[in-house]
């Protein structure tokens, strides 16, 4: 039941369920972002947001999709594992 609710929630934001799987676009994006953001310096929170928005757009994603993904990812352990794996590859 929870999985169905998550799929409906993500779909309502225009997120393809495949993008959220362990190897999906949003999962891979999040792992790379977590790695990259640690190695960069920003003058403000707004600068971090601007960088995130630029990277999302470059991958064909929107902030709305990303925010929806972040809200449900805590309920998806296999996706969290995928994020960690993507992070390890990016920061390797």
Q: And the tokens for 1? A: 């039941």
* Average pLDDT of the segment spanning 65-81: 89
In this structure, the number of other CB atoms found within 10 A of the CB of residue 87 comes to: 19
Which pLDDT belongs to residue 5?
A: 47
**So where are the chain's domains?**
2-91
Are 69 and 9 in contact, with CB atoms under 8 Å apart? no
Are 61 and 8 in contact, with CB atoms under 8 Å apart? no
pLDDT tens digit sequence for 4-50: 445 555 555 555 555 555 568 899 999 999 999 999 999 999 999 99
CA distance 37 to 26: 16
- What pTM, to 2 d.p., does this model score? 0.77
Which pLDDT belongs to residue 11?
A: 56
Of 53, 92, 71, the closest CA to residue 6 belongs to 71
């Amino acid at each position: 039941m929870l999985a169905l609710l998550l799929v409906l929630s993500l779909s309502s934001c225009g997120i393809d369920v495949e993008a959220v799987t362990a190897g999906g676009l949003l999962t891979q994006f999040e792992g790379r972002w977590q790695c990259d953001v640690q190695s960069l310096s920003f003058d403000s929170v707004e600068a971090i947001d601007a960088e995130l928005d630029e990277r999302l757009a470059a991958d064909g994603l929107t902030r709305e999709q990303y925010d929806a993904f972040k809200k449900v990812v805590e309920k998806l352990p296999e996706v969290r594992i995928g994020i960690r794996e993507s992070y390890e590859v990016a920061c390797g």
